[in-house]
Structure 1
Amino acid sequence: MTPAAPQGPEAAACPETLTGKATCYTGRDANGAFYAIAVPTHWNGSLVVHAHGGPDLGDASDPARSVEDLGRWSVMVDQGYAWAGSSYRRGGYGTRMAAADTESVRRVFTEAFGRPGHTYVHGQSWGGNVAAKVVEVYGGDAGPYDGALLTNGVLGGGSRGYDYRVDLRVVYQYYCRNHPRPTEPQYPLWQGLRPDSTLTSTGLRARLQECTGFASAPGDRTALQQRNLDDILAVTRIPERTLESHLRFATFTFRDIVSGRLGGRNPFSNEGVQYTGSHDDAALNAGVERFAADPAAVRDLSYDSDLTGKVDIPVLTLHAMDDPTAFVEHEAAYRAALEGAGRDRHLVQTFTDEHEHSALSDSEYAASIAALDAWVRGGRRPTAASVAARCPAYDRGYGTGCFYDTGFAPAPYASRVAARPGGLAWPAMTAAQEREWSRVAGVGIAP
Structure 2
Amino acid sequence: MPVRTRLRIALTTLATLATTTLTALPAPAAEAAAPAAGNLTGTLSDGAAWTADVPEHWNGTLLLFSHGFGPTVARDAPTDAVRTELLAEGYALAGSSYDPHGSMWALNSAERDQFATLDAVTAKIGAPRRTIAVGQSMGGLVNAQLARDGAGRIDGALGQCGLVAGGTDLDNYQLDAEYTIARLLLPAQDVKLVRFGSADEAAATANRLTTAVTAAQDTPRGRARIALAAAFLNLPAWSPGKTRPAATDWAGQEAQQYDWFAQGVLSFIEGGRYAVEQSVGGDNSWNRGVDYARLLAGSEHAPQVRALYRAAGLSLDADLRTLTEGADYDADPAAVRTAQRTSSAGQGLGVPLLDIHTTADNLVPVQQENRFAARVRAAGDGPLLRQAYVERQGHCAFTTAETVAALHALEHRVDTGRWDDAATPAALQRSATALGLDGAAYVPYRPAPLTVGRPAPARPGRR
Normalised to the residue count of structure 1, the TM-score between the two structures is 0.74
Secondary structure of the structure 2 residue equivalent to 1:345:
helix
- 1:176, distance to aligned residue in structure 2 (A): 4.3
Q: Tell me which residue corresponds to 1:233.
A: 230
Q: Give the Cα–Cα distance (whole angstroms) in 1 for the partners of residues 210 and 285 of structure 2.
A: 29
Q: Tell me which residue corresponds to 2:47.
A: 32
Q: Tell me which residue corresponds to 1:135.
A: 147
Q: Tell me which residue corresponds to 2:114.
A: 102
Q: Give the Cα–Cα distance (whole angstroms) in 2 for the partners of residues 227 and 334 of structure 1.
A: 30
Tell me: CA distance 1:351–1:339, structure 2 relative to 1, closer, same or farther (3 Å).
same
Supply the AA of the counterpart residue of 1:263. Answer: G
Question: Cα deviation per residue 1:187-238 (whole Å; 9 max; x = unaligned)?
Answer: 5x232xx31463474x566534532328x9x7xx577865664553355442
Q: Give the Cα–Cα distance (whole angstroms) in 2 for the partners of residues 165 and 410 of structure 1.
A: 18
Q: Give the Cα–Cα distance (whole angstroms) in 2 for the partners of residues 128 and 98 of structure 1.
A: 11
Secondary structure of the structure 2 residue equivalent to 1:41:
coil
Of 247, 260, 263, the residue aligned with 2:281 is: 263
Q: Tell me which residue corresponds to 1:86.
A: 96
Q: Tell me which residue corresponds to 2:211.
A: 210
- Contact residue 386 and residue 423 of structure 2 kept, 8 A: no
Map 1:181-260 → 2, pairs under 5 A: 187=192, 189-191=193-195, 194-196=196-198, 198-199=200-201, 201=203, 206-213=207-214, 221=218, 229-234=226-231, 236-239=233-236, 240=257, 241-243=259-261, 245-258=264-277, 260=278
Map 1:171-186 → 2, pairs under 5 A: 171-177=180-186
Q: Give the Cα–Cα distance (whole angstroms) in 2 for the partners of residues 411 and 209 of structure 1.
A: 27
Q: Give the Cα–Cα distance (whole angstroms) in 1 for the partners of residues 76 and 345 of structure 2.
A: 28
Q: Give the Cα–Cα distance (whole angstroms) in 1 for the partners of residues 49 and 104 of structure 2.
A: 15
Structure 1 unaligned runs (5+)? 1-21, 427-447
Q: Tell me which residue corresponds to 2:173.
A: 164
Q: Give the Cα–Cα distance (whole angstroms) in 2 for the partners of residues 190 and 39 of structure 1.
A: 44
- Contact residue 235 and residue 365 of structure 2 kept, 8 A: no
Of 355, 378, 391, the residue aligned with 2:416 is: 378
Identity %: 26
Secondary structure of the structure 2 residue equivalent to 1:25:
strand
Of 403, 406, 410, the residue aligned with 2:447 is: 410
Supply the AA of the counterpart residue of 2:200. Answer: T
Map 1:327-406 → 2, pairs under 5 A: 327-383=365-421, 386=424, 388-406=426-444
Q: Tell me which residue corresponds to 2:292.
A: 274
Q: Give the Cα–Cα distance (whole angstroms) in 1 for the partners of residues 168 and 227 of structure 2.
A: 28
Q: Tell me which residue corresponds to 1:442.
A: none
Tell me: CA distance 1:42–1:133, structure 2 relative to 1, closer, same or farther (3 Å).
same
Secondary structure of the structure 1 residue equivalent to 2:109:
helix
Of 114, 124, 127, the residue aligned with 2:126 is: 114
- Contact residue 78 and residue 136 of structure 2 kept, 8 A: no
- Contact residue 271 and residue 292 of structure 1 kept, 8 A: no
Supply the AA of the counterpart residue of 2:40. Answer: Y
Q: Give the Cα–Cα distance (whole angstroms) in 1 for the partners of residues 155 and 77 of structure 2.
A: 25
Secondary structure of the structure 2 residue equivalent to 1:370:
helix
Tell me: CA distance 1:387–1:29, structure 2 relative to 1, closer, same or farther (3 Å).
farther
Q: Tell me which residue corresponds to 2:87.
A: 77
Q: Give the Cα–Cα distance (whole angstroms) in 2 for the partners of residues 173 and 386 of structure 1.
A: 42
Supply the AA of the counterpart residue of 1:113. Answer: I
Structure 2 unaligned runs (5+)? 1-36, 237-256, 297-304
- Contact residue 151 and residue 317 of structure 1 kept, 8 A: yes
- Contact residue 348 and residue 384 of structure 1 kept, 8 A: no
- 1:361, distance to aligned residue in structure 2 (A): 1.8
CA RMSD in angstroms comes to: 3.1
Question: Cα deviation per residue 1:262-287 (whole Å; 9 max; x = unaligned)?
Answer: 33354433532315536443245425
Q: Give the Cα–Cα distance (whole angstroms) in 1 for the partners of residues 224 and 283 of structure 2.
A: 34
Q: Give the Cα–Cα distance (whole angstroms) in 1 for the partners of residues 233 and 368 of structure 2.
A: 16
Q: Give the Cα–Cα distance (whole angstroms) in 2 for the partners of residues 72 and 170 of structure 1.
A: 40
- 1:42, distance to aligned residue in structure 2 (A): 2.8
Q: Tell me which residue corresponds to 2:363.
A: 325
- 1:376, distance to aligned residue in structure 2 (A): 1.0
Q: Give the Cα–Cα distance (whole angstroms) in 1 for the partners of residues 348 and 399 of structure 2.
A: 30
Q: Give the Cα–Cα distance (whole angstroms) in 2 for the partners of residues 69 and 237 of structure 1.
A: 25
Q: Give the Cα–Cα distance (whole angstroms) in 1 for the partners of residues 379 and 458 of structure 2.
A: 19
- 1:38, distance to aligned residue in structure 2 (A): 0.8
